[in-house]
């Protein structure tokens, strides 16, 4: 091919264009970055890496920046639930409560702790037949005596997360009412249970509601409520591991005194 000044000029022009344009920028692979635009929402590019923060002001309320991560500020709280030792949350600080008014959601102040129903700091926070075990009121044991009974009391079962008497359990309760009438004024423990799902506090309250629902039903059938002792055990004696076995945990046992 013969030399052409025109063709040569075109090649020189194209070479100049490519030289000026350069190669297209290659986007860094996350979490590497060249700027904040390469990071996810709420992240910042620090030393070529996407991180949560580089200073406290980049974290939300109640958090500080440590090692480029937003962590909870020690001792900071919004509610009592944020305080690890059940203290009161006052001016965003966890402090030992001094009175019930400093606690939330109807909880009470005992030994500097805000306690909900079923929680305790000492045995004195629990009923006479309960002990304070790891911050929760639990029953130490119930003396029972079935001797002399001429009939047997049946267990009453409940639906999941419910304290209402199921239709299927009413036959058992009707039979229990007839049995109780046979025994004169003999007392009985109504011992409520739950399956293991839910918090200790919630399950104590649910088991209490179930035991009281049984007592109310029997009272409407003519049984003197003074004969009942309500014993909410929560999940303390649950043994199930799935739905088919949890059914057995959701119950109220009737035990002779």
Q: End-to-end CA distance of the chain: give it in Å, rounded.
A: 116
Residue 237: which residues within 8 A CB-CB, separation 6 or more? 193, 249
Query: What is the model's pLDDT at position 169?
Result: 94
Over 90: is that where the pLDDT of 60 sits?
A: no
Q: Residue 25's pLDDT is what? A: 61
Phi, psi (5° rounding) for residue 156? -110, 125
Give the pLDDT score at 140.
63
Task: State how far the Cα of 207 lies from the Cα of 214, in Å rounded to an integer.
Answer: 11
Domain ranges of the chain: 36-72, 77-116, 156-256
Most confident of 79-83, 128-132, 252-256: 252-256
Q: With a threshold of 0.75, does the pTM exceed it?
A: no
Q: Is the pLDDT of residue 142 over 60?
A: no
Element (H, E) at 171: helix 170-182
Q: What is the pLDDT of residue 150?
A: 81
Question: Could you tell me if residue 68 is left (phi over 0), alpha (psi between -120 and 50 degrees) or otherwise beta?
Answer: left
3-38 burial string, b = 16+ CB within 10 Å, else e?
Answer: eeeeeeeeeeeeeeeeeeeeeeeeeeeeeebeeeeb
> pLDDT: is 141 or 106 the higher one?
106
The 10s digit of each residue's pLDDT in 203-243 is: 999 999 999 999 999 999 999 999 999 999 999 889 888 98
pLDDT surpassing 80 at residue 9:
no
Q: What is the pLDDT of residues 75-99, one digit of tens each?
A: 788 888 888 888 999 989 889 999 9
Measured CA to CA, the distance from residue 111 to residue 120 in angstroms comes to 9
pLDDT at 3 over 80: no
Among 3.40.50.300, 3.30.1330.60, 3.40.190.10, 3.10.310.40, what is the CATH number of 156-256?
3.30.1330.60
Question: Is the pLDDT reported for residue 39 higher than 90?
Answer: yes
The pLDDT assigned to 224 comes to 96
Confidence category of residue 127, pLDDT binned at 50, 70, 90:
confident
């Amino acid at each position: 091919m013969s030399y052409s000044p025109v063709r040569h000029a075109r090649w020189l022009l194209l070479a100049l264009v490519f030289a000026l344009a350069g190669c297209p920028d290659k986007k860094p692979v996350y979490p590497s970055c060249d700027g904040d635009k390469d990071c996810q929402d709420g992240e910042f590019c620090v030393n070529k890496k996407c991180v949560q923060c580089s200073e406290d002001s980049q974290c939300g309320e109640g958090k500080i920046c440590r090692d480029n991560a937003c962590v909870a500020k020690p001792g900071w709280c919004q509610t009592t639930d944020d305080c690890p030792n059940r203290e009161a949350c006052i001016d965003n600080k966890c402090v030992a409560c001094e009175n019930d008014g400093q606690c939330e959601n109807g909880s009470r102040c005992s030994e500097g702790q805000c306690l909900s129903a079923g929680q305790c700091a000492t045995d004195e926070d629990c009923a006479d037949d309960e002990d304070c075990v790891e911050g929760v009121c639990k029953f130490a044991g119930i003396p029972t005596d079935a001797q002399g009974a001429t009939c047997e009391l049946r267990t009453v079962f409940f639906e999941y997360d419910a304290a209402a008497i199921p239709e299927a359990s009413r036959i058992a309760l009707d039979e229990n009412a007839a049995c109780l009438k046979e025994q004169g004024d003999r007392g009985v423990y109504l011992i409520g249970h739950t399956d293991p799902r839910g918090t200790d506090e919630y399950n104590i309250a649910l088991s209490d509601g179930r035991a009281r629902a049984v007592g109310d039903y029997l009272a409407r059938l003519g049984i003197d409520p003074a004969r009942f002792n309500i014993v909410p055990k929560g999940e303390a004696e649950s043994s199930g591991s799935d739905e088919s076995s949890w059914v057995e945990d959701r119950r109220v046992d009737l035990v002779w005194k």
